[in-house]
Structure 1
Amino acid sequence: MKRNRKAKILATLGPSSSSPKLIEELFIAGCDVFRLNFSHGSIETHRSNIKTIRQIEKKYNHATCILADLQGPKLRVGNFANKEEKLVKGDLFQLDLKNELGSKSRVNFPHPNIYENLTPNTILLINDGRIRLQIIEQKKDSLKTEVLNDGVISDNKGVNIPDIILPIDSLTTKDKSDLMKALEMEVDWVALSFVQQLEDIKNIKQIVKNKALIMAKIEKPSAVKNVDEIINAADGIMIARGDLGVEMPPERVPIVQKNIIKRCRSFGKPVVVATQMLESMITNLVPSRAEASDVANAIYDGTDAVMLSGESAIGNFPIESVTTMNKIIEYVEADKNNFDLEFETQELNHKIDNTDAITNAAYSIAKNAGAKAIITFSVSGKTTMRMAKERAPVQIIGLSPNIRTARKMQILWGVNSCFSPDSENATEMVNIACSVAKDKKLVSADDNVVITAGVPFGNAGSTNLLRIAKIIANKNLT
């Protein structure tokens, strides 16, 4: 299915959008990647949704991408005898390991492995930063704190600790179980929550073993500090602005977002901007003007994709949310005066390999010779990913004889990813490329296309061939 835009849309499935009818409507409205949030919903619900998505893929002959988002090690306080308590600025409040219901003066904080790392003056943020506590005395089994502002604390509220790298595994026992089930269901991407450092990516990659691509969620200041090595190790990045906006001042988040997008562009890795993009559409039919500008600015910055969370998962208007996001992207990309991603591709001057040389040449030919599309043959998807980095002015048609590769590449900027037969020689390659492009109505008669592939055919990582072909009605090439 041809989209009239290059940036992609991720939509989260949930109670508002888990029926086969609604999932198909989300796809038609513009959803390119379906996100399964393993913080919510049962495994059987996720399994059923995946089955529906694969049926839609077959019905529309369109490789469709699925991302499994793991919950991660979220820190939480325990329960209160009165369900909630009002804390007053200046009060003393204790977090401890006592397995007792909380009161106005204390609450259970069942994370014994981090107590010794929390020194006096460390700031604890409760309930998305609505309550701030400062540690004044630390013991192995308790933390005495001073309340820094008035607020209400209640059962199971989250705790953020922005100032330190915590000695906790980025994969909880639940995450490991969910991960195994997600891989069994053949998801295409796995998003790892609360990444802090390079080792978190290395650990999950050892478990996944190339069965899916790994997306690192940047939502802690420690991850921002280590962002280059995290980008380099991961297959993609998600800027998860919810927790990130709790753990650092909100005025810093837009700058961090722009910098991470720029770094991902430099590394040639896909980047997704997420959280509260059209938040008001959970209950309203139209977004706020600020939300529309938020989505637009992410597109102007060159993000590969933007994501809907609660808007599509629990909102009253899931289809309308996708439609609205689709329209915003189309309008931005049609803005010839301001939408220009070309200059950033010149940032890195480093030694290039054959794939870099071929994709650079394909970009130049497409731009200067009036080609309507660049068609990449790629077994592994690496050439298609490298081509997406160029932000070519024409659409990229990514062909792969591996359906799992075709699905994974659907998240990339400007790429219409297609499953195709493999070729044995250059003539067959051009025939297949032109046939697929015509059959999917991605090009028209008399259009020129640029085609890249590797010789010998069918081998991953060997892109070294470039051809130009002309589309002729009822034929494959000139």
Structure 2
Amino acid sequence: MRRHRYAKIVATVGPATNTPDMLKALFLAGVDTFRLNFSHGVQADHAKVHAAIRALEAEVGRPIGILQDLQGPKIRVGTLRDGRLDLVAGERIRFVLEGAEGDRRAIPLHHSEIFAAVVPGQDLLIDDGRVRVRVTGVENAAIDAEVVTAGVITNRKGVNLPGTLLDLSPLTEKDRADLAFGLDLGVDWVALSFVQTPSDVLEARGLIGDRAGIMSKIEKPQALDRIDDIIRLSDAVMVARGDLGVEIPHEDVPGRQKELIRACRLAVKPVVVATQMLDSMVAAPAPTRAEASDVATAIYDGADAVMLSAESATGRYPIEAVAMMDRIIRSVEGHKLYRSIVAASEPGEEETPPHAVATATAVLADAIQARAIVAYTTSGTTAARVARKRPAVPILALTPSRSTSRRLSLLWGTHSVHSDDVDSYEEMTSEAARHARDEGFAKANDMIVAAAGIPFHTIGNTNNIRVIQV
């Protein structure tokens, strides 16, 4: 089952879509990777969804990726006396570390890390920035503040601290339990929330190892200060525009999105653009024009994948949302300006032999109008290096690793196939031709281009190109 597009679709599973029939319908509509959001639901429910996806994978005969998204630390106000506070601009309020009065002079904020980090003049954003207060004084167990933007605070609303680096692990006890559970299930990707520094990724790597790919969610401004190191240590990146858009000005988000996509392409790491892409389709059967343009922009920017959240998890039109995203992607990729725009945003080349060989493979395939590029890959690196060039020729990735084939369902332009390993040059040639025919990429006498590492079974050593007539 071949997708006739390059960019991939990630869809969140939730109450609206957690049955085997709905999962199959979503896959047939265009989903390449399913996201399990561990901020909601219980482990047993996620296990059922995981099993259903693996059963679907066996039924359709195609690798399907599963992304476990960890909740991460959530900073929230506590319980208020009357359930809410109506704040007006200019009034003075106080947050307290201990106690639970829940009034204007004792708003519970049971997070010691905040009290240790904030200084006068910094802002706290409450309820996704709907209420903004400015710190005027800090004590060991109290923070005085002035209301800048009026609004209502209700119980357990979230708090953001733009520009403040918190001494806080991205992995809570809940996350660690969920992570162990997910790894035992066999998830392909783990999305790491609240990444602030490279050490956060290293902490997760120590727990995950190579059992799953680490996808760092960029939702904190502090991460942008060390973004190159964070990308280098990660296996993929998610541009989590929801929280990021709360902590940086809205007008800066589009530019940051472009920067992150470009940096990930340079580093040969898949990048996913997420949050509110078709948000109106939670309740309506069609998106707004602005939302369609938003998805299109991510595709023109060269993103590997775009993601649906509430649209597919709790929305009334999950299948329609996936189908709409699929149509938008295919329309953009078929537009006469698409190739020139993507080529213009290509990052500079990394001057290493494997990257040069992969680039030459893509250029050669385009030049001879090959039907496909066949990338032999164990870890996925060879396919990723070719995809970095964003060739006009589809990539057929052959791998002996089932986990790699599933992870590659997130990679731009790549159709992954779990196949037997090859041991010789002749076998490489014949297997490339056979799979290109079987997967519908080529027919007799068509040309394909194969990229591999010689000697075989060597990870990350892309050093050989072969033109093959099927």
Which residue number corresponds to residue 154 of structure 2? 154
Alpha-carbon offset, residue 456 of structure 1: 2.4
Inter-partner Cα distance in structure 2 for 1:362 and 1:349: 14
Inter-partner Cα distance in structure 2 for 1:339 and 1:438: 26
SS of 2:463 mapped into structure 1? strand
Alpha-carbon offset, residue 38 of structure 1: 0.6
2:96 is aligned with what amino acid?
D
Alpha-carbon offset, residue 222 of structure 1: 0.9
Alpha carbons 2:79, 2:156 under 8 Å: kept: yes
Structure 2 matches for 1:416-427, cutoff 5 A?
416-427=415-426
Which residue number corresponds to residue 459 of structure 1? 458
Alpha carbons 1:454, 1:463 under 8 Å: kept: yes
Alpha carbons 1:276, 1:309 under 8 Å: kept: yes
Alpha-carbon offset, residue 349 of structure 1: 4.5
User: In the alignment, is residue 252 of structure 1 matched against residue 252 of structure 2?
Assistant: yes
Deviations 1:140-160 (A, max 9, x none): 111111111221000100000
Which residue number corresponds to residue 343 of structure 1? 344
Please, which moves more after superposition, 318-327 or 218-227? 218-227
Alpha carbons 2:94, 2:104 under 8 Å: kept: no
Which residue number corresponds to residue 367 of structure 2? 368
Inter-partner Cα distance in structure 2 for 1:149 and 1:113: 24
Which residue number corresponds to residue 396 of structure 1? 395
2:387 is aligned with what amino acid?
A
- Percentage identity across aligned positions? 43
Alpha-carbon offset, residue 101 of structure 1: 4.5
Which residue number corresponds to residue 475 of structure 1? none
Q: Any stretches of 5+ residues in structure 1 without a counterpart?
A: 472-478
SS of 2:239 mapped into structure 1? strand
Deviations 1:27-75 (A, max 9, x none): 0000011011110111111111111111111111111111111111120
Inter-partner Cα distance in structure 2 for 1:195 and 1:350: 26
Deviations 1:386-442 (A, max 9, x none): 111010111001110010111111101000011011111111122222222222223
Inter-partner Cα distance in structure 2 for 1:182 and 1:266: 30
Please, which moves more after superposition, 374-383 or 429-438? 429-438
Structure 2 matches for 1:295-374, cutoff 5 A?
295-340=295-340, 341-345=342-346, 347-353=347-353, 355-374=354-373
2:198 is aligned with what amino acid?
L
Alpha carbons 1:78, 1:101 under 8 Å: kept: no
Alpha-carbon offset, residue 338 of structure 1: 4.0
Inter-partner Cα distance in structure 1 for 2:443 and 2:42: 45
Alpha-carbon offset, residue 202 of structure 1: 1.1
Inter-partner Cα distance in structure 2 for 1:98 and 1:349: 54
Alpha carbons 2:359, 2:385 under 8 Å: kept: no
Which residue number corresponds to residue 125 of structure 1? 125
Inter-partner Cα distance in structure 1 for 2:381 and 2:370: 22
SS of 1:237 mapped into structure 2? strand
Deviations 1:223-243 (A, max 9, x none): 112211111111111000001
Alpha carbons 1:421, 1:432 under 8 Å: kept: no
SS of 1:404 mapped into structure 2? helix
Inter-partner Cα distance in structure 2 for 1:62 and 1:13: 19
Which residue number corresponds to residue 108 of structure 1? 108
Deviations 1:175-212 (A, max 9, x none): 11111111111111111111111111111111111111
Inter-partner Cα distance in structure 2 for 1:369 and 1:242: 43
Which residue number corresponds to residue 438 of structure 1? 437
Structure 2 matches for 1:179-328, cutoff 5 A?
179-328=179-328
Structure 2 matches for 1:74-93, cutoff 5 A?
74-93=74-93
Inter-partner Cα distance in structure 2 for 1:369 and 1:278: 38
1:380 is aligned with what amino acid?
S
- Aligned CA distance change for structure 1 residues 47 and 138 (closer, same or farther; 3 Å): same
Alpha-carbon offset, residue 369 of structure 1: 0.8
- TM-score w.r.t. the length of structure 2 is 0.97
Q: Any stretches of 5+ residues in structure 2 without a counterpart?
A: none
Alpha carbons 1:116, 1:139 under 8 Å: kept: no
Alpha-carbon offset, residue 453 of structure 1: 1.7
Inter-partner Cα distance in structure 1 for 2:76 and 2:445: 61
Structure 2 matches for 1:140-179, cutoff 5 A?
140-179=140-179
SS of 2:120 mapped into structure 1? coil
- Aligned CA distance change for structure 1 residues 55 and 350 (closer, same or farther; 3 Å): closer
Alpha-carbon offset, residue 361 of structure 1: 1.9
Alpha-carbon offset, residue 462 of structure 1: 2.8
- Aligned CA distance change for structure 1 residues 368 and 25 (closer, same or farther; 3 Å): same
The alignment yields a C-alpha RMSD, in angstroms, of 1.2
Which residue number corresponds to residue 379 of structure 1? 378
Alpha-carbon offset, residue 4 of structure 1: 1.0
Alpha carbons 1:14, 1:314 under 8 Å: kept: yes
Which residue number corresponds to residue 476 of structure 1? none
Inter-partner Cα distance in structure 2 for 1:258 and 1:292: 17
Inter-partner Cα distance in structure 2 for 1:27 and 1:257: 27
Which residue number corresponds to residue 98 of structure 2? 98
Inter-partner Cα distance in structure 2 for 1:423 and 1:40: 43
Inter-partner Cα distance in structure 2 for 1:144 and 1:120: 9
Inter-partner Cα distance in structure 2 for 1:258 and 1:328: 19
Inter-partner Cα distance in structure 1 for 2:138 and 2:85: 23
SS of 1:323 mapped into structure 2? helix
Alpha carbons 1:273, 1:305 under 8 Å: kept: yes
Alpha-carbon offset, residue 446 of structure 1: 2.7
SS of 1:216 mapped into structure 2? strand
1:378 is aligned with what amino acid?
T
Alpha-carbon offset, residue 99 of structure 1: 3.2
Which residue number corresponds to residue 55 of structure 2? 55
- TM-score w.r.t. the length of structure 1 is 0.96
1:186 is aligned with what amino acid?
G
Alpha carbons 2:64, 2:406 under 8 Å: kept: yes
Aligned residues: 469
Alpha carbons 1:216, 1:238 under 8 Å: kept: yes
Please, which moves more after superposition, 12-21 or 454-463? 454-463
Alpha carbons 2:113, 2:166 under 8 Å: kept: no
Please, which moves more after superposition, 209-218 or 429-438? 429-438
Inter-partner Cα distance in structure 2 for 1:221 and 1:351: 30
Inter-partner Cα distance in structure 1 for 2:232 and 2:124: 31
Alpha carbons 1:332, 1:339 under 8 Å: kept: no
